[in-house]
Amino acid sequence: MSRLTLAAALVALVALPAAAAERFVLVQSTTSTANSGLYDAILPQFEAATGIQARVVAVGTGQALKNARNCDGDLLVVHARAAEETFVAEGHGLARHALMHNDFVIVGPADDPAGAAGTPDAAAALTAIARAAAPFASRGDESGTHAKERALWTAAGIDAAAASGTWYRETGSGMGATLNLAVGMDAYALTDRATWVAFANKAGHRIVAEGDPALFNPYGVIRVNPERCPNVRAAEAEALEAWLLSPAGQDAIAAYRRDGQQLFHPDAAD
Amino acid sequence: MDGFSGAVSAAFGLLAALDPELTGIVGLSLAVSLGATVTACALGMPLGALLAVARFPGRGLLAAMISALMGLPPVVAGLAVYLMLSASGPLGPLGLLYTPTAMVIAQTLLVLPIVAALTRETVAALHDEYDELLRSMNAGRMFALGTLLVDARFALTTAALAGFGRALAEVGAVMIVGGNIAHATRVMTTAIALETSKGELALALALGAVLVALSALIHGAVALLRNRAEGPAHA
């Protein structure tokens, strides 16, 4: 083995344990809260207040819940109400607390070939897209946004999955990757407003439908049940949950803006 | 593409200014991938040499399996390591998931077949050449193996570099077992994936340019060391 590889081994030995020493909490999270920059804005405040490092694994609500079921995480920040309640009811989580909300929007190409922009609500917009067989990029990944999207299709009485591979395109990717694809192929897509506002590759895409109460997007926070998962960092998880729901955490969430817009609205009752 | 050259110069500017965020990511990338390469070499080179020299039943099958694993998709390696290290997996109690150590393990799985297969080929060729000489010296098996490995050292650097390249470039495995956690397990490739998903395409591409430049630097340094060590006699 050469001197170079030996040196490399030494570097690795020195560098690796350094990351494991401090107190931390592992958050399994939806991607929108990470991609929109919210965590970068608020978590340093939590870390300064408590000395606990918040480590975020941003994977999409479906996978976050699955990982937490495997006990690979201490706290969940997700947005799929029904799946969250199942998670708690099955004993994997302690309780679901309302953290904050924003809304979903339907975005599409500037020239709006399906004429979705003039429609009164989300169901009508989706109906217009389906009728025009205009390309629609779906997450297709069991994320919170995907769950909402399927509920919206069902409410509109359209079996979009039947058109999979034609105008209905399931990307199986995160929100940002799906938006990149939608922009690339002039497709419509459902996205949470936070990711959309922060998204830097909009090209000509714009919001074509918004404001329908059906597009409400609530985020919940859930502590993983330490009785089922003895390995969880219970005290640290409790500290982060308490901070997020406290006036300090709620104010930090409300204060986060991109392009002058507030992206998340705090929901914790005080 | 508008803004690309700006993003590239900004990225290299951050690197030159030793921006702690970027240097931390670059440093972890190098540490994890080098750690994996070193581990894979320590295991894979003796294994490859053994496969080249020893005769035992199932040797052909084992060699074929190792060659096949050179094409192991990183995401599969990541999933396998995730299932092992998950708190509900067999090695869960070690608490290694979402740590750099988990990333080293996953990348070792990816690099090991490359190193072992390339070592086997190199040593087999040398073995054909020197078999008689070693026999005439009455050399033991271990001595013969060691001699062949030392003699093959320059070819083996190439094997190690090929493995290192694979480790440094992959994103699927470290994303799953590392989790792309800021200031803890974020490396170059997962940072590039993250910037892409934020729609920051120019910045993502600029980080890619930094990664390629670093890789070129390492390959250049190794080539230089090798030229010096090999000397004019072998040129």
Q: Tokens in use for B176?
A: 């799953």
Q: Which residue is closest to B218 within chain A, CA to CA?
A: A4
Residue A12 and residue B95: Cβ atoms within 8 Å? no
Does B221 lie at the interface with A, CB-CB under 8 angstroms? yes
Range in A38-52, A176-190, B89-103, B197-211 with the lowest mean pLDDT: B197-211
Q: Is A224 helix (H, G, I), strand (E, B) or coil?
A: strand
CA distance A73 to B92: 12
CA distance A80 to A64: 11
CA distance A84 to B206: 38
CA distance A142 to A173: 10
Residues B176, B109: contact at Cβ < 8 Å? no
Among A121, A113, A102, residue whose Cα is nearest residue A188: A113
Q: Is B169 helix (H, G, I), strand (E, B) or coil?
A: helix
Does B158 lie at the interface with A, CB-CB under 8 angstroms? no
Q: A136 and A57 in one domain? A: no
Mean pLDDT for A55-66 is 94
CA distance B137 to B133: 6
Q: A156 and A121 in one domain? A: yes
pLDDT at position A21 is 56
Kindly give the interhelix angle for B141-151 and B100-136, rounded to the nearest 10 degrees: 110
Q: Is A57 helix (H, G, I), strand (E, B) or coil?
A: strand
For residue B101, which residues of chain A lie inside 8 Å, CB to CB? 16
How far lies A131's CA from each of A110, A140, A164, B1, in Å?
18, 21, 15, 35
Give the end-to-end CA distance of chain A in Å, rounded to a whole number.
62
Scan for tokens 């997996």, then name that residue.
Answer: B89
Q: A237 and A164 in one domain? A: no
CA distance B151 to B6: 48
- Closest approach of A10 to chain B, Cα-based (Å): 9
Q: A160 and A91 in one domain? A: no
Q: Is A136 helix (H, G, I), strand (E, B) or coil?
A: strand
Q: A136 and A39 in one domain? A: no
For residue A20, which residues of chain B lie inside 8 Å, CB to CB? 99
For residue B222, which residues of chain A lie inside 8 Å, CB to CB? 4
Count of structural domains, chain A: 2
Mean pLDDT estimate for chain A: 91
Mean pLDDT for A166-189 is 94
pLDDT at position A3 is 53
pLDDT at position B232 is 55
User: What CATH number does the domain containing A133 carry?
Assistant: 3.40.190.10
pLDDT at position A78 is 96
Residue B181 and residue A177: Cβ atoms within 8 Å? no
Among B201, B174, B183, B151, residue whose Cα is nearest residue B23: B183
Residues A108, A206: contact at Cβ < 8 Å? yes
Beta bridge partners of A216: A103
> Nearest CB to A199: which of B88, B92, B198?
B198
Q: A88 and A7 in one domain? A: yes
Q: A259 and A185 in one domain? A: no
CA distance A30 to A47: 20
Q: Could you list the beta-strand ranges (E) of chain A.
A: 24-29, 53-58, 75-78, 93-108, 136-138, 168-170, 188-192, 206-209, 216-224, 257-258, 261-262, 265-266
Mean pLDDT for A170-188 is 93
CA distance B51 to B59: 7
CA distance B41 to B122: 14
Q: Does domain B4-223 have CATH number 1.10.1740.10?
A: no
CA distance A194 to A145: 12
Q: Which of B197, B214, B226 to mutate to test the interface with A (most CBs of A within 10 A)?
A: B197
Give the CA-trace dihedral at A187, A191, A193, A199, to 10 degrees.
Answer: -60
Which domain, by its residues, includes A137?
104-215
Q: A131 and A50 in one domain? A: no
Residue ending a domain, choose from A215, A232, A258: A215
Strand A261-262 relative to strand A75-78, pairing: unpaired
pLDDT at position A237 is 97
Does the pLDDT at position A16 exceed 90?
no
pLDDT band at A17 (very low <50, low <70, confident <90, very high): very low
pLDDT digit string, tens, across residues A137-148: 999 998 999 999
pLDDT at position B151 is 87
Q: What is the DSSP letter of A52?
A: P
Q: A37 and A16 in one domain? A: yes
The pLDDT tens digits along chain B (235 residues) read: 456 787 788 888 887 888 888 889 999 999 999 999 999 999 999 999 999 988 889 999 999 999 999 999 999 999 999 999 999 999 999 999 999 999 999 999 999 999 999 999 999 999 888 888 888 888 787 888 888 888 888 889 989 999 999 999 999 999 999 999 999 999 999 999 999 988 888 888 888 988 999 889 888 888 888 887 776 544 4
The Cα angle at residue A25 between residues A40 and A194, in degrees rounded to 5: 30
Those residues with Cβ within 8 angstroms of residue B212's Cβ, 6 or more apart along the chain or in another chain: none
Q: Where are the domains of chain B?
A: 4-223
